[in-house]
Amino acid sequence: MTTTAALVPSSPTAPVPVIRADGVTLVRDGKVLLDSVSLTVRGGEHWALLGANGAGKSTLLGLLGAIRHPTRGTVEVLGRTIGRVDLRELRTLLGHVDPRHPLRSPLPVNDVVLTGLTNSVEPVPRRSASPEQRERADRLLKMLGMGGKEGSRWPALSQGERGRTLIARALMPQPRLLLLDEPATGLDLAAREQLLDSLDALREEHPELATVLVTHHLEELPASTTHAMLLRGGRCVASGPADEVLTTDQVSDCFGHPVRISRTDGRWTARARRAARR
């Protein structure tokens, strides 16, 4: 089944695709990491890629983020076909949030956010942000619950504060597509809930934005998630509107373990199903 999510102003007709992956296969060192996966992401949709470890989630996100090329099939991102464009240039048009951000220096939060303009880890020498860009960085931080933290140093931030800072950084160039690779990794319960609340607020304030989020925990999905794809062994086992995909039977099949799925106040939970006693 094909899928949908994206980032273009909504209209009476279907939004223009931000991502279109068709029959994508990726082989590395003789191993098939993705096998004939198709996905269409349209404006205003918020996709979740779920599956067990090694299912191919982050591999697919890397293709969508113009980090690698497919072995077979085609990937179009923002109307540009991977393999026919400069990937470095294309990556500057995307927002990519990786909790393993390699920053080592004690930059203040607002400077970390401003590096999103140059898609660099450190500030680019002899390049300074305009007053308008600094104002935008402050607005994004406030929207993501980081108001008052603009001058805090990167090493002093909690993991949750770093995650929200990186989302603000990814939004600085006003991308049409935001990619999030397991953004709740390493967060405690309170920090995770703050992050998910921030994502819901972001999606409400920017209704044209498309997002794709990778996780293997349903509890890490924001309530604003609209679509989902389940991956197992590099293949898509289900894809479409979230409530049609995230069902007890399909999630159990995807993870190879019997679970019971429920949704309360927009949030999903998964519980193991006990085998019937004889």
Question: What is residue 10's predicted lDDT score, i.e. its pLDDT?
Answer: 43
d(CA 230, CA 241): 12
Extents of the domains making up the chain: 1-94+175-278, 103-174
Closest CA to 66 of 49, 91, 42, 86: 91
Beta bridge partners of residue 240, listed in sequence order: 228
Rounded mean pLDDT of 65-84? 91
Instruction: State yes or no: pLDDT of 9 exceeds 70.
Output: no
Question: What is residue 3's predicted lDDT score, i.e. its pLDDT?
Answer: 43
Residue 109 φ/ψ, nearest 5 degrees? -55, -45
Closest CA to 200 of 257, 145, 272: 145
Instruction: HSE, CB side, 13 Å, CA atoms: give it for residue 182.
Output: 17
Q: How would residue 13 be classed by pLDDT, with cut points 50, 70 and 90?
A: low
Rounded mean pLDDT of 88-109? 88
Distance of CA 213 to the CA centre of its chain: 3
Q: Write out the two tokens for 111.
A: 């400077």
pLDDT, one tens digit per residue, over 188-227 is: 999 899 999 999 998 998 999 999 999 989 999 999 999 9
Q: Write out the two tokens for 78.
A: 């923002």
Question: What is residue 1's predicted lDDT score, i.e. its pLDDT?
Answer: 44
Closest CA to 90 of 113, 62, 111, 114: 62
pLDDT, one tens digit per residue, over 135-174 is: 999 999 998 889 999 999 999 999 899 999 999 999 998 8
What SS3 state is found at 66? coil
Instruction: State yes or no: pLDDT of 91 exceeds 50.
Output: yes
Question: What is residue 248's predicted lDDT score, i.e. its pLDDT?
Answer: 96
Fold that domain 1-94+175-278 belongs to in CATH:
Rossmann fold (3.40.50)
